[in-house]
Amino acid sequence: MALPNINPTTTKSWEKLTAHFKAIKDERLQDYFNQDDKRFDRFSIQWEDFLVDFSKNRIQQETLVLLEDFAHEMGLKGAMEAYFGGGVINQTEGRAVLHTALRAPEETQIYIDDLDVMPEVHAIKAKIRSFCDKVISGEHKGFTGKAITHVVNIGIGGSDLGPAMITESLQYYKNHLNVQFVSNVEGDHVREVMKTLDLETTLFVIVSKTFTTQETLSNANTLREWFLSHAGEEAIAQHFVAISTNLEKIAAFGIAPENVFPMKDWVGGRFSLWSAVGLSIALAVGPDHFDALLVGAHKMDKHFKDSPFQENIPVVLALISIWYNNFWEAESEAIIPYTQYLRNLPAYLQQGIMESNGKGVDRNGENVEYQTGTIIWGGSGTNAQHAFFQHIHQGTKLIPADFIGFKTSLYGEEDHQHKLMANFIAQTEALMRGKSMAEAVNELIEKGLSEDEIETLAPFKVFEGNNPTNTLLIDALTPESIGKLIALYEQKIFVQGVLWNIFSYDQWGVELGKQLANTVLEDLKGDSIAQHDASTTALLKHLKN
Ligand code: F6P
């Protein structure tokens, strides 16, 4: 079960989409709304607690039909079967891609090479639950007999971003444990965290799929040495646990087998928060909330697997994004959650999306001649309105944006919630509608400005509008709805990778920098400097002086 291998630009539907783009490129969103009072009904999906409104996009019914034809022509259905069925779709690493198995119900059977992976998935889940219960209840004691109060997750990339973002987003559901994250190899980062810890009551969770990552091992070693300067070797067992596929390296680090939570090589780092990598989440919010997160993700997987393309949220959002990326030549996409809880969602999705689909070689091993990958950025609303929104409203670039909001607030601050949602709704309306010259002039007349003043100022007050947005309006921020939301973006990544004919689940592009850093490290530590270009050599000399 491999992925199909088709150059998207050679398909009939690509040709039709190109012609269709030329035909409608000068049309305006506002006219679409004026001409069609059913536009919202046509271009929105209500599914469970999600309302997804994609009507404020530069699309017509025909656009979607052509995009769906394109998905069919590219073999998306077959690719989905291979993906969910445990096919080796991460071909360049020779692995299946089964993070979906981590959230599948117990009775499911998913095979890799005739082996059902589900019993082990559930055994690890049971181990996570029992460990978390003991730590949260205080039954698990530190080396001086005190209960654990602090947890430090040591990891980077997928071993940090997911657990950190989810823990932060579920802050409302948190228990008494103080959970922190150390990721950067910068010593000041780990030092700042150390300042806040009491060793007697701290649990260190080392997360590294490979257990070879420089940043994670450096931080883990520093913390271990610090710990051992206050406690004996035997105390490691109460204070250090590890999550990895590399059981040998964990043993060499000195962590006992009972403190190891294995992960499998068919789970990619950036898709791993659902596995034992999510231990810090489960500790922070308790195993029931962690399970609810998984339940939500599974519901989205099921929706994705079973829904026809036109009612399929990840498929529709992936297709619209391809429409902008490949036909409108949009350079980036913004993600704007209207909640502080999700302020780090854009950073999390940067890894998920850009490490997956930032690829320039197709599944034939040839350089692609079309755009792949989207640049993701963003920030939380309403803060972002006072930062980069100027650029979206009046800049020269086309920036499709996802607005994510929740109908209800968690603490029920009604006045705040009304204001938050008023901004949430008004911004997408403003981006779509804009403000014409006539409207700008009228406003200035009403303000009593002179004719000359109006003539000078009016051009700056015009908003072109016609800016596309998707609105994801979710009932409430719960572990389950967050699980659905993250799985939605994961499935969007999958769809786009299939349609761009690239391999989404490897990340060779991070290797070169790592390799060169090893040489540069020797230069920095040693007496001599190896052969480099003039810039690199000069920088090294400057550092060593
Ligand atoms: O940045 C490259 C990468 O391999 C990511 O894909 C991964 O999430 C991160 O490094 C951390 O890797 P590990 O979990 O093996 O330490």
Quick: pLDDT tens for 186-200.
999 999 999 999 999
- Tell me how far apart the alpha carbons of residues 315 and 333 are, in angstroms, rounded to a whole number: 16
Active-site residue, from 514, 522, 541, 544: 514
Quick: pLDDT tens for 19-49.
999 999 999 999 999 999 999 999 999 999 9
Q: Please tell me whether residues 495 and 513 are part of one structural domain.
A: no
**pLDDT reported for residue 164:** 98
Nearest to 310 by CA among 27, 85, 62: 62
Asked if the structure places residue 78 within a domain, the reply is no
**pLDDT reported for residue 179:** 98
Cβ 213 under 6 angstroms from ligand 1: yes
Asked if the structure places residue 428 within a domain, the reply is yes
Cβ 157 under 6 angstroms from ligand 1: yes
Angle at which helix 76-84 crosses helix 479-499, to 10 degrees, equals 130
Q: Please tell me whether residues 231 and 111 are part of one structural domain.
A: yes
416: annotated active-site residue: no
Gap from CA of 507 to ligand 1 centroid (Å) = 9
Cross-strand bridge partners of residue 241: 205
Q: Please tell me whether residues 235 and 355 are part of one structural domain.
A: no
Domain residues for 44? 8-73+307-433+468-499
- Residue 154 contacts residue 205 (beta carbons within 8 Å): yes
- Residue 335 contacts residue 403 (beta carbons within 8 Å): no
Total number of domains in the chain = 3
Ligand 1 atom 9, closest CA: 157
From residue 258, give the alpha-carbon distance in Å to each of 131, 217, 264, 445, 538.
Answer: 10, 20, 17, 76, 49
pTM across the whole model: 0.98
Asked if the structure places residue 365 within a domain, the reply is yes
Q: Give the Cβ contact number of residue 329 at 10 Å.
A: 10
Nearest to 492 by CA among 231, 304, 248, 254: 304
**pLDDT reported for residue 174:** 98
- Tell me how far apart the alpha carbons of residues 435 and 523 are, in angstroms, rounded to a whole number: 58
Asked if the structure places residue 445 within a domain, the reply is no
Phi, psi (5° rounding) for residue 4? -65, 165
Q: Please tell me whether residues 229 and 350 are part of one structural domain.
A: no
Q: Give the Cβ contact number of residue 457 at 10 Å.
A: 15
Q: Please tell me whether residues 515 and 493 are part of one structural domain.
A: no
From residue 518, give the alpha-carbon distance in Å to each of 16, 207, 524.
Answer: 49, 22, 10
Gap from CA of 539 to ligand 1 centroid (Å) = 27
Look at residues 234, 255, 290 and tell me which one is the last residue of a structural domain. Answer: 290
Q: Please tell me whether residues 141 and 163 are part of one structural domain.
A: yes
- Tell me how far apart the alpha carbons of residues 382 and 423 are, in angstroms, rounded to a whole number: 7
Best residue among 210, 249, 359 to mutate for probing ligand 1's pocket (most ligand atoms within 8 Å of CB) is: 210
Active-site residue, from 38, 195, 386, 525: 386
Q: Please tell me whether residues 125 and 247 are part of one structural domain.
A: yes
Structure tokens at 319: 């297709």
User: What is the side-by-side order of every strand in the sheet holding 150-154?
Assistant: 178-182, 150-154, 202-207, 240-244, 260-262
464: annotated active-site residue: no
Q: Please tell me whether residues 230 and 111 are part of one structural domain.
A: yes
From residue 413, give the alpha-carbon distance in Å to each of 49, 418, 478.
Answer: 21, 9, 17
Q: Ramachandran region of residue 66, left (φ > 0), alpha (ψ -120 to 50) or beta?
A: alpha
- Tell me how far apart the alpha carbons of residues 230 and 208 are, in angstroms, rounded to a whole number: 25
Give the chain's residues under pLDDT 50.
Answer: none
- The number of the ligand 1 atom at minimal distance from the alpha carbon of 207 is 14
Q: Please tell me whether residues 286 and 336 are part of one structural domain.
A: no
Q: Please tell me whether residues 56 and 184 are part of one structural domain.
A: no
Cβ 19 under 6 angstroms from ligand 1: no
532: annotated active-site residue: no
Query: CB-based burial of residue 369 (10 Å sphere; 0-12 exposed, 13-18 middle, 19+ buried)?
Result: exposed
Q: Please tell me whether residues 63 and 206 are part of one structural domain.
A: no
Q: Please tell me whether residues 154 and 234 are part of one structural domain.
A: yes
CATH code for position 114 = 3.40.50.10490
